[in-house]
Amino acid sequence: MFKKAMQTLDRIIERVSYFGVYASGVMAVIMCFLATYGVLRRYALNRPEPYSYELSTIFLMVGIVLALPYIQRKGRHLRVDILANRFPTGIGYILLNILGPVMALFYLVPMTWQSWVDAHYSLIVGERSFSAWAPPYFPIKVWIPIGVGVLCLVLFAQLCRGIYLLKERIVKNGEQ
């Protein structure tokens, strides 16, 4: 039953995280065009415009937050293996696959909650940017709890898988 539930959760997380990294890639391409447009307007036409920089900043923030779950799921994130490599294999496994996700969840769950509170507050008060364009902040801020919330799901699935595999390893060693 646990395997079936984990497979279902993995499929859902895979689709959502793949959408996030795909959207992040699209935003990176848009940022390239925006930067080129801004430079051409500034230097070729001698008419700078303020919107390309702000849009690029928005796309950068949203793109990073949406790509994080995919990066964590694929194990392509930066991690310091110095501690894990100094211990025996079993303890290193526990550090990387159980203790690491637990520590990350202790940080990211409150961050998800508080970023949602901040986005909701931004919607209620009608918070806007101080730039010439003055876009509303809520549509931008709402992506933070979404991306970090999916990252929490990825870490929770990684933690469950780590505990399950550790239990299987203990049972297997006990039978021998």
Q: How far apart are CA 66 and CA 153, in angstroms?
A: 13
Nearest to 98 by CA among 149, 146, 170, 174: 170
**∠33-37-41 over CA atoms, to 5°?**
175
pLDDT of residue 125: 94
Q: Where are the domains of the chain?
A: 2-175
Tokens standing for residue 104: 């990350």
Q: What is the pLDDT averaged over residues 2-19? A: 89
pLDDT tens per residue, range 52-73:
888 998 999 999 999 999 999 9
170 token code pair = 């203990």
> For 80-138, how does the pLDDT look when each residue is reduced to its tens digit (9 = 90+)?
667 667 878 778 888 888 998 999 999 999 999 999 999 999 999 999 988 778 888 99
Residue 128 β-bridge partners: 136
Rounded to two decimals, the pTM is 0.87
- pLDDT-derived band at 155 (thresholds 50, 70, 90) equals very high
Across residues 12-34, what is the average pLDDT?
94
pLDDT band, residue 46 (cuts 50/70/90) = confident
Residues 32 and 39: beta-carbon distance below 8 Å: no
- For 101, other C-beta atoms within 10 Å of its C-beta total 23
